[in-house]
């Protein structure tokens, strides 16, 4: 999907959490959750962030809609600065951007009925009571739930139904941009595909733009237009989906992709990259490549400098000093087409 105008531009976004303080309450130790992350999402596309647990994906999503304050960096939504906008203006921006959480058991208030939960999403639209009701019914229908569900409590619903309610709540505000924070990873595999298809259909119908946060490579491959790979708070590689899955440049991406199980004929041999070494702690990380300790291609420079994100090919960024085609840990080339 080439060259739609950008909807969301993220520049050098960083967030650190203080984890230890001295007697005077001054932080002495920081956990670096998101570090100098930049990317752009175009109108109507699905941009995915993949990464392992604890790499800062969810924090990134919450920083973008200012649910948590960022330390440095900026976010432009449709050309408007999110971080410097006034309280009133932020409210308007938040109506256009909505967040869907990972765990539908925690994201729905157990004491509220589904109808009330969904209609809370319309709260920015300043509707009358009857319009509010109609809007609630409308979005419930959009996510494939019968009207009668409005009178249910969340505990009466299954995980998939709950996630539909959470999506309906986000849609109720009539947004343009959805941040989907692991929207299917808490669901059974059979339900996952239903919810993914629902998200796909909704995107077509309502021309939505998605930021899809996930750790599941198969899901990401299925749903994304472009993909960013995160490792310990750093965005290490960004590319089109097919380019990233077909021709990964960053050693972490290469290792990640080689871990996907693939069917193979008997006797056929496939090299897998297995990472060794221990992951760097995100607490007070030294100035070096954060992946160096586990990298099979690390060179001296990786231990003394932070590799900048550079355009390696058109539409393909990676942050690495030693870009090379995929190799296994012994330096041999991995079989590919």
Nearest residue to 234 via CA among 63, 44, 73, 56: 56
* Angle at which helices 189-206 and 159-172 cross, to 10°: 20
Place of tokens 């960013």: 228
Question: Which one, 101 or 291, has the nearer CB to another protein?
Answer: 101
Question: Which one, 163 or 254, has the nearer CB to another protein?
Answer: 163
Using CB under 8 A, list all residues that contact another protein: 62, 65, 67, 90-91, 94-95, 98-99, 101-103, 106-112, 117, 120-121, 123-124, 141-146, 148-149, 151-152, 156-157, 166, 169, 173, 194, 197-198, 201, 205
CB of residue 165 vs another protein: minimum separation in angstroms?
Answer: 11
CB of residue 89 vs another protein: minimum separation in angstroms?
Answer: 11
CB of residue 31 vs another protein: minimum separation in angstroms?
Answer: 17
Contacts of 311 (CB under 8 A, 6+ apart): 317
Q: Residue 231: which H helix or E strand, with range?
A: strand 226-231
Question: Which one, 48 or 163, has the nearer CB to another protein?
Answer: 163
Question: Which one, 167 or 236, has the nearer CB to another protein?
Answer: 167
CB of residue 144 vs another protein: minimum separation in angstroms?
Answer: 4
CB of residue 266 vs another protein: minimum separation in angstroms?
Answer: 38
CB 168, CB 143: distance < 8 Å = yes
Question: Which one, 108 or 273, has the nearer CB to another protein?
Answer: 108
Question: Which one, 87 or 287, has the nearer CB to another protein?
Answer: 87
Question: Which one, 142 or 257, has the nearer CB to another protein?
Answer: 142
Question: Which one, 104 or 251, has the nearer CB to another protein?
Answer: 104
Structure tokens at 24: 């005077």
CB of residue 122 vs another protein: minimum separation in angstroms?
Answer: 9
What residues pair up with 209 in beta bridges, in sequence order? Answer: 177
Kindly state the greatest CA–CA separation across the chain.
Answer: 68
* Angle at which helices 159-172 and 129-142 cross, to 10°: 130
C-beta contacts of 253-256 below 8 A and 24+ residues apart: 253/229, 253/318, 254/326, 254/327, 254/334, 255/296, 256/50, 256/217, 256/229
CA atoms of 317 and 312, how far apart (whole Å): 6
CB of residue 21 vs another protein: minimum separation in angstroms?
Answer: 14
CA atoms of 98 and 118, how far apart (whole Å): 13
CB of residue 157 vs another protein: minimum separation in angstroms?
Answer: 7
Q: Residue 190: which H helix or E strand, with range?
A: helix 189-206
């Amino acid at each position: 999907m080439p060259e739609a105008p950008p909807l969301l531009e993220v520049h050098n976004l960083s967030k650190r959490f203080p984890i230890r303080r001295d007697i005077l309450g001054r932080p002495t130790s920081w956990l670096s959750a998101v570090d100098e992350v930049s990317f752009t999402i175009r109108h109507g596309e699905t941009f995915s962030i993949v990464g392992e647990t604890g790499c800062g994906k969810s924090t990134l999503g919450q920083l973008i809609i200012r649910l948590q304050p960022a330390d440095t960096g900026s976010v432009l939504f449709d050309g408007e600065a999110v971080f410097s906008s006034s309280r009133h203006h932020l409210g308007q921006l938040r109506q256009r951007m909505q967040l869907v959480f990972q765990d539908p058991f925690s994201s729905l208030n157990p004491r509220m009925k589904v109808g009330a939960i969904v209609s809370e999403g319309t709260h920015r639209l300043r509707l009358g009571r009857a319009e509010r009701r109609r809007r609630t019914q409308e979005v419930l229908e959009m996510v494939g739930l019968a009207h009668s569900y409005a009178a249910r409590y969340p505990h009466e619903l299954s995980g998939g139904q709950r996630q539909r309610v959470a999506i309906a709540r986000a849609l109720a505000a009539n947004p343009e941009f959805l941040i989907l924070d692991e929207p299917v990873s808490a669901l059974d595999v059979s339900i996952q595909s239903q919810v993914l298809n629902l998200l796909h259909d909704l995107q077509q119908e309502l021309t939505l733009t998605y930021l899809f946060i996930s750790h599941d490579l198969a899901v990401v491959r299925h749903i994304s237009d472009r993909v960013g790979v995160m490792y310990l708070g750093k965005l290490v590689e960004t590319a089109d989906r097919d380019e990233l899955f077909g021709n990964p440049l960053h050693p972490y991406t290469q290792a990640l992709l080689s871990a996907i199980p693939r069917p193979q004929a008997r006797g056929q041999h496939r090299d897998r990259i297995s990472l060794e070494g221990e992951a760097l702690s995100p607490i007070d990380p030294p100035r070096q490549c954060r992946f160096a300790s586990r990298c099979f291609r690390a060179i001296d420079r990786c231990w003394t400098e932070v590799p900048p994100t550079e355009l390696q090919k058109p539409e393909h960024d990676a942050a690495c000093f030693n870009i090379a085609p995929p190799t296994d840990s012994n330096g041999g080339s991995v079989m590919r087409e």
